[in-house]
Amino acid sequence: MNVPTSIQIINSPEGTPAFVVIPYAEYMANRAQEEALIPHDVISRAVDGATPARAWREHLNLTQAEMAARLGISQSAYAQQEGRERLRKASIEKIAAALGILPTQLDI
Report pTM.
0.71
Contact criterion met (CB below 8 Å) for 61 and 100: no
pLDDT tens column, 43-85: 999 999 999 999 999 999 999 999 999 999 999 999 999 999 8
**pLDDT confidence tier of residue 4, bands split at 50, 70 and 90:** low
CA angle 44, 55, 53 (to 5 degrees): 140
Burial class (CB in 10 A: 0-12, 13-18, 19+), 108: middle
Domain at 40-106, CATH class:
mainly alpha
CA 70 to each of CA 21, 22, 41, 91: distance values in angstroms, whole numbers, following the listed order:
39, 38, 22, 13
Name the CA radius of gyration of the chain, rounded.
20
Domain spans, the chain: 40-106
pLDDT tens column, 34-46: 777 899 999 999 9
